[in-house]
Amino acid sequence: MGAMKNVFSIDLEEWFCVYNFDGAIPREQWETRESRVEQATLAILDLLSKHNVQGTFFVLGWVAERHPDLIREVERRGHEIASHGYYHRLITKMTPEEFRTDLNRSLEILTRLASAPVRGFRAPSFSVTRKTRWSLDILRDCGIRYDSSMFPIGFHPDYGVPDARLEPHALPEGLWELPMSVAEVAGKRVPCSGGGYFRQFPYAVTRHLMRTCNAQGRAVMFYLHPWEVDPGQPRVALPFVKRIRHYNNLDKTLPRLERMLNDFEFTSVRSLYGANWAA
C-alpha cells in the first residue's frame, strides 16, 4: 500500500537574492549583506534527515561559489544537486547569450561540487514562459535533461504558462519538463507546489490540494527556499503586497514542513524520474 511519491525540492539561495528585492538590494550589494543561507539550509537538511527524505536542491551558482562546504553537505546527505542559474536573473530579462553564459557559469561550479552529473534546472521566478521558450534549446545544449520551471497558471503577473500540461512530459526540444504543481478544483488550476503558496495557505488547505493532485494521478513538485524557514532575516522595506508575500508566516514554515513530511512521501527528481533520461 505505498502512497504516491512526490518530489521535495529546495531553491538554494540567500534571503537577498529574491526577485522581490531586485530594486532594494542590487547585485553589487549582495557581497555586503549578512549571509544566512547555511543555518537555514541546515535546519531543512536536519528535518529531511530525520524523515529520511532525499530531495533535489536547485542551487544558485553565486551561493555555491561562496559556500562550497554547504553544497558538499547537501551532497553528502544524498540529495541531488541541480542548477538555479548563477546570478538569479530572470530569463525574461536576458538575451539568449546572457542566459547561456549565466547557466554555464553555474554548471562549472556545481559540477565541481557534485558527484553526479548535474541534469536539472529551475529558472528564477519560474521564468520559462512562452516568450522564453528559446531557453530550452540552450538548456539541452548545455547537458540539462530536465527543466522544472513552468508554472501552468495564468493569473500571476510575473510568470506562468496558462495552457501548459500539468504532468511531467517530454518536450519537443529534447528534454523533460516537470511543471510546478496545481490541483484542478472546479475547473480552476490552484497551485499546491510550496513556496509562498505553502506559507499563505493554512496547512489543511495545502494538504487537501496535494491530496487532490495525487488523486488526479500526479506527483506533487514541492519547492521551498531556505529564507522561508528563517524568521530572523533582516527586514527590507517593501510595498504592502510584496511585504505580505515575503514575510508572512516565516515562523510557521518549519513546523508545517514537519507535518507535511509526516503526511506525504517524498523523494528527489533523480530517483522518481531519472530513468527517463538515464544515458
The partner residues of 182 in beta bridges, in order of sequence, read 191
Q: Binding segment for Zn ion among 4-12, 164-172, 216-224, 226-234 (CB under 5 A)?
A: 4-12
**Cα four-point dihedral sign 274, 124, 62, 48:** negative
Q: Which of residues 219-248 bind Zn ion (CB under 5 A)?
A: none
CB 120 within 8 A of CB 80: yes
Taking the complex as a whole, how short is the minimal distance between the CB of residue 19 and Zn ion, in angstroms? 7
Taking the complex as a whole, how short is the minimal distance between the CB of residue 263 and Zn ion, in angstroms? 26
| Candidate residues 11, 102, 228, 230; the one interacting with Zn ion per rule CB under 5 A | 11
Nearer to Zn ion, 82 or 183 (CB): 82
Taking the complex as a whole, how short is the minimal distance between the CB of residue 59 and Zn ion, in angstroms? 10
CB 125 within 8 A of CB 90: yes
Q: Which of residues 171-200 bind Zn ion (CB under 5 A)?
A: none
In angstroms, the CA 239 to CA 10 distance is 26
Q: Binding segment for Zn ion among 5-13, 35-43, 64-72, 161-169 (CB under 5 A)?
A: 5-13
Q: Is 14 in the site for Zn ion (CB under 5 A)?
A: no
Nearer to Zn ion, 189 or 225 (CB): 225
Taking the complex as a whole, how short is the minimal distance between the CB of residue 127 and Zn ion, in angstroms? 10
In 3D space, the residue among 94, 40, 90 whose CA is nearest the CA of residue 63 turns out to be 40
What length is written for the chain? 279
Q: How many residues bind Zn ion (CB under 5 A)?
A: 3
Q: Which of residues 96-155 bind Zn ion (CB under 5 A)?
A: 124
Nearer to Zn ion, 14 or 177 (CB): 14
Look at residue 218 and give its three-state secondary structure. coil
Listed in order, strand segments (DSSP E) in the chain are 5-12, 56-59, 80-83, 120-121, 146-147, 169-170, 176-177, 182-185, 188-191, 221-224, 265-267
Residue 154, all three cell numbers: 495564468
Nearer to Zn ion, 37 or 175 (CB): 37
H or E element in which residue 4 lies:
none
Task: Give contact residues for Zn ion (rule: CB under 5 A).
Answer: 11, 13, 124
